[in-house]
Structure 1
Amino acid sequence: MVQNAGAGAAGVQTQGGALRRTSTSHELYKRLRDRIVSLEFLPGAPLSRTELAASYGVSQTPVRDALQMLEKEGLVVVFPQSRTEVTRIDLAQARETQFLRMSLELEVVRTLCIRNATPAVERAARLVQLQHTALTVDADLERFAALDRQFHYQMFEDAGVLDLWELVQSRSGHIDRLRKLNLMDPGKAATILVAHQEIVTQMRQFDVAATQEAVRRHLSGTLAQVEEIKRAHAGYF
């Protein structure tokens, strides 16, 4: 049985949607990963190969392959001939990924500032405006979170280092789940919005040091709250 974040224990038949015939194990891996990172599949939840195969309309072979990819990333643990479970959040791994992300993103904004990359700054500003609308007008936290990811992705793309974004994402399952829990806290989304506005303000001045400091404060926010997050969601760690 697969556990659903919104309704306790529930089967996956109504959750997955059949995959296209041309889909691969990697496509299934991406879909399952999204459900783990979004906390639809909670830390500690059992995953049934049989149910997943039925839900997505595939044999158990691509399910097995997808679960192996998730295990390599540390998001599930597979007990041979027994069961598969979603892993609990690994704070050591989250901190390592955060170190990598911080190092890269500081260099990304430095590159954009040195280049006087006005078009990149205006793309970032537009995404912040969309975030403001999603939060204050639509009250759509899921769209807000998607725009949050797009904000950072766009800067990597504009700096010409999109492969490095993909590298970070391939290791980000634990820190992303931690961020998801943090986003649930009252006021967190507003804090993110203010941080993004500050980053854009400093980038418009092409001030390397001030932009880097704004990024550093922003990216440090979740780990600074980790003890509070653990107390609120003890069973996830």
Structure 2
Amino acid sequence: MSVGFLSEALIKASDELSGPGQQGSAAARVYAGLRARIISLELLPDTVLSRAEIAKEYEVSQSPVREAIQKLEQEGLVVSYPQSKTLVTKIDTEHAQKSQFLRVGVELEVAKALARAGDPALLQPTTRILRMQKLAGEDCDISEFTALDRLFHLSLFQAAGVGSLWQLVSGCSGHIDRLRTLNLPDPGKMADVLAAHERILEAIAGGDPQDVERQVRDHLSGTLAAIPAIRAAHPDYFEAED
């Protein structure tokens, strides 16, 4: 069974935890589709979004498109100008830093809770996802690797019994996720991510809260540390600095 086939089912499950409102609704489907394309930079900053074209593409009416756009606006991923147009926003590094502050705090508590639990069975799904991510890395499949990266972290939340908190983390991470999209193709980055994931699992299994905190902090700080280099390589993707 291929890596892609296996992860497709997991991605669908994770989307059910992070979409807006009633899952399976037209608005949720449009939102998830547009958000994924913005995060992957298929839709670049300053791209004009036509609501009529979106409605046609997703075979829905204007109402769910409007709901999806509103949700994306709340996350700061698009901006709408009355009687004019809707644009994909540029990457806001201040927003990315604030959302990362939230994520680090929540994910530290998740990892520490798992370390205190001392139950190896809780980590089995995450370990399987990591094996799949290694295969994606060997194939240099960035899209697959990114999806499995998200699922790795989601599975830790689920193992700790707080899977619904992923909605909170995911819903405010659009800008940092775009930074990761730009950072991941850098030489050695995928190998660094895999090594960090292995260290996090080893620290949790070892039951050492201090080691857990060190490994989670080190891993989640990597993209923020790379912001100057990412901005220098892609200046047009970013909001102007004050």
TM-score normalised according to structure 1 size: 0.87
- The structure with more radius of gyration: 1
Q: How does 1:120-131 map to 2 (within 5 A)?
A: 120-131=122-133
Gaps of 5+ in 1: 1-21
Q: How does 1:69-108 map to 2 (within 5 A)?
A: 69-108=71-110
SS at match of 1:77: strand
Structure 2 Cα separation of the partners of residues 43 and 67 of structure 1 = 15
Structure 2 Cα separation of the partners of residues 128 and 64 of structure 1 = 37
**1:215 alignment counterpart:** 216
Q: CA deviation at 1:126?
A: 2.3
**1:60 alignment counterpart:** 62
Cα pair 2:120 2:205 within 8 Å, conserved: yes
Aligned residues: CA RMSD: 1.3
**1:24 alignment counterpart:** 26
Residue 169 (1) aligns with residue 170 (2) = yes
Q: CA deviation at 1:124?
A: 2.4
**2:21 alignment counterpart:** none
Of residues 170-179 and 23-32 in structure 1, the stretch that sits farther from structure 2 once superposed is: 23-32
Of residues 30-39 and 116-125 in structure 1, the stretch that sits farther from structure 2 once superposed is: 116-125
Which digits, 9 at most, give the CA deviation of each residue in 1:81-103, with x for residues without a partner?
11110001111111111001000
**1:197 alignment counterpart:** 198
From the superposition, tell whether residues 202 and 23 of structure 1 become closer, same or farther in structure 2 (CA, over 3 Å): closer
Structure 2 Cα separation of the partners of residues 183 and 31 of structure 1 = 21
**1:34 alignment counterpart:** 36
More helix by share: 2
**1:184 alignment counterpart:** 185
Q: CA deviation at 1:36?
A: 0.8
Which digits, 9 at most, give the CA deviation of each residue in 1:29-53, with x for residues without a partner?
1211111111110011111112112
Which amino acid counterpart does residue 212 of structure 1 have in structure 2?
A: E
Which amino acid counterpart does residue 187 of structure 1 have in structure 2?
A: G
TM-score normalised according to structure 2 size: 0.85
Gaps of 5+ in 2: 1-23
The higher relative CO (CA closer than 8 Å, separation ≥ 6) is in 2
Cα pair 2:142 2:185 within 8 Å, conserved: no
**2:16 alignment counterpart:** none
Which amino acid counterpart does residue 232 of structure 1 have in structure 2?
A: A
SS at match of 1:162: coil
